[in-house]
Amino acid sequence: MEKFSIFLIIPILRFLLNLNNFLYLRTVLHQHDKFLAGKVKNASEKEKRVSQKAARWIQANQTEIKRRVLNAGVEEQIKSFMEPIGLGYGQTKNISTLDNLLFMNKEIIASARQTISIAKGHYWTQTWLSLSPLFWIEMVIFLPREILKMAGLESPSKIFQIIVKILQLIYWIISIVYIILKVLK
C-alpha cells in the first residue's frame, strides 16, 4: 500500500507543479495586458495607475518570469533595434524580449508575449500529461533517456545519441534480467 501511494504522489505533485507554472504565466500575461492598457493615448487615470502597478509587479518578478519560461524549454528571443545616438547616426542593439517586457516596441512586445504564451502552453500540456498512464509507461521504458534530458544533457551529436542508445539497451537488459529473477524466486 505504501509503494502504491508513492506512485500516486509523484503524478499529483508533477500535475500541481506544472499547473502552478501555467497559472503563474497566465498571471504574467494578465499583468502585461493591464500594463499595456494604461499606455494607450486615451487611457483613463485609473488605467494609468493600474498600469503603473502592473509595471512594478512585472519588474519585481522579472527573473522569475524568465526562469519559468526558460525552464519550459522555450528559447529566449533576442531582437535587434536601431537606437539613435545623435547627429543622424544610430547604433544597433540586441535585447532580450524577456528582459524587456516593459519596453514599448511592438515587435519586442509581440515576441515576448508569444514566448510566454508558448511556455504557458507547454506547462498546460505537461499538466495533463502528468495524469496520463501512457506518459508514465513511456517514462519508465525510456528512463535513462529521460534522466539525461532532465539533467540537461541533450545533444544532437551522433556520439551522444549512440551513448544514449547504449545506456537504454543496458537498462532494458538489466530490467529484463531483474524481472526474470523476480519471477523465478
Highest mean pLDDT among 22-31, 36-45, 90-99, 104-113: 22-31
The pLDDT of 2-11, averaged and rounded, is: 75
Check residue 120 and give its pLDDT.
97
Q: What percent of the chain shows pLDDT beyond 90? A: 37
Concatenating the DSSP letter of every residue in 99-134 gives TTTT---HHHHHHHHHHHHHHHHHHHHHHHHTT-HH
The whole-model pTM stands at 0.78
More confident: 145 or 177:
177
Q: Is the pLDDT of residue 1 over 70?
A: no
**Which tens digits make up the pLDDT trace of 80-111?**
777 777 777 778 888 888 888 888 888 889 99
Q: Is the pLDDT of residue 3 over 70?
A: no
- Residue 86: which region, alpha, beta or left (left: phi > 0; alpha: psi -120 to 50)? left
The pLDDT of 109-126, averaged and rounded, is: 94
Kindly provide the residue ranges of all beta strands, DSSP E only, lying in the chain, ordered along the sequence.
78-86, 89-96
